Amino acid sequence: NNVANNPDAQPLVLLDIDGPVATITLNRPEKRNALSMAVIHRLEECFATLPESVRVVILAGAGEHFSAGLDLSTLSESTSFEGIQQSMAWYDAFARIQFGRVPVIAVLHGAVVGGGLELASSLHIRVAEESTYFGLPEGQRGIFLGGGGSVRVTKLIGFSRVTEMMLTGHVVDATEGHAIGLAHYVTPAGEGMKKARELAERIASNAPLSNFAILNALPLIAEQPMSHGLMTEALMASVTQGAPEAKERINAFLQKRAGKVAPA
Ligand code: 1HE
């Protein structure tokens, strides 16, 4: 995606910054946003170079689908060793996104399959429009998950469901995806972005240190034995509490200058 070398090239990934919210769009609709190494690298670069002013990212896909997964044309001649290196590159990119500074909201529609679901499962919040369908067609293609899905999708829905989806090719629709934990919200067609913006505003109003702790400490604690998890939690709690921003926010509540918790 080196536009400098080829001015006619269509950018593989679009970046739009509007105040604290950046919208990143996979932009290969003619290939259903299939993920080539160039797309993965460009995505990683977008996240790595976000300005400090950005506090939330919304990630979407151009065209009729979020993503058709791995660009299968890259596999037709690759060796096993190239395959393992490709997986490692996906892991690096997705870890940078998952364990970064800014929360990421996915707006899903159409196909969210294979590597597309592996990418979506690295993000923090998933909003699925009604047209969304989730699938793991690796078995049909004679391959296996290779973008972290056997870890991340399994953490979301459990290994029994992943096994069934992979063995049978069961395609999960938006409603079922919501029920089993693949999506946090389902919206009517065309309303995913509106919902994501509304969520983004709320997330951007949190203390950045709290958001950082949620992204980085929670998943770590989930993998720790209880005694370690509790200690990690206590350390993180004391770091956040000690920050001047926390003092100001807590005083604002006590002095009735801050909002109350209210049902939606
Ligand atoms: C692709 C890809 C792709 C489309 N790699 N080129 N993923 C899959 O097994 C899903 C494969 N894709 C599909 O099942 C369908 O394309 C969709 C259901 C997603 C969309 O259907 P449709 O009718 O809208 O589009 P299409 O006509 O199938 O595709 C349009 C073009 O995109 C066509 O190319 P063209 O040159 O003929 O125009 C397709 O070949 C191309 N295309 N999907 C390459 N995935 C890190 S390991 C992860 C492992 C996996 O992700 S395995 C799952 C791979």
Instruction: Please choose from 12, 28, 30, 32 the residue to mutate so as to test ligand 1's pocket, defined by most ligand atoms within 8 A of CB.
Output: 32
Helix (H, G, I), strand (E, B) or coil at 118: helix
pLDDT, residue 5, reads 52
- ipTM > 0.90 for the complex: yes
Check pocket membership of 149 for ligand 1, CB cut-off 6 A.
no
Instruction: Please state the pTM of the whole predicted model.
Output: 0.96
Check pocket membership of 168 for ligand 1, CB cut-off 6 A.
no
Q: Which CATH architecture has domain 13-204?
A: Alpha-Beta Complex (3.90)
Active site positions, annotated: 118, 138
Q: Please check the confidence at residue 213 and state whether its pLDDT lies above 90.
A: yes
Q: Compute the distance from residue 34 Cα to the ligand 1 centre, in Å.
A: 7
Q: Compute the distance from residue 201 Cα to the ligand 1 centre, in Å.
A: 34
In this structure, which residue's CA is closest to atom 18 in ligand 1? 111
Check pocket membership of 34 for ligand 1, CB cut-off 6 A.
yes
Check pocket membership of 73 for ligand 1, CB cut-off 6 A.
yes
Distances (CA, A) of 72 to 31, 32, 114, 136, 221: 10, 12, 11, 14, 36
Q: Please check the confidence at residue 197 and state whether its pLDDT lies above 80.
A: yes
User: Where are the domain boundaries for CATH 3.90.226.10 in the chain?
Assistant: 13-204
Q: Compute the distance from residue 150 Cα to the ligand 1 centre, in Å.
A: 21
Nearest to 204 by CA among 94, 93, 101, 59: 101
CATH 1.10.1490.10 fits 208-254, yes or no: no
Check pocket membership of 61 for ligand 1, CB cut-off 6 A.
no
Q: Compute the distance from residue 73 Cα to the ligand 1 centre, in Å.
A: 10
Check pocket membership of 147 for ligand 1, CB cut-off 6 A.
yes
Average the pLDDT over 10-22 and give the result. 96
Contact indicator for 39, 13 with CB cutoff of 8 Å: yes
User: Where are the domain boundaries for CATH 1.10.12.10 in the chain?
Assistant: 208-254
| Interval 115-127: pLDDT, tens | 999 999 999 999 9
**Phi then psi dihedrals of residue 128, to 5 deg:** -110, 125
Q: Please check the confidence at residue 8 and state whether its pLDDT lies above 80.
A: no
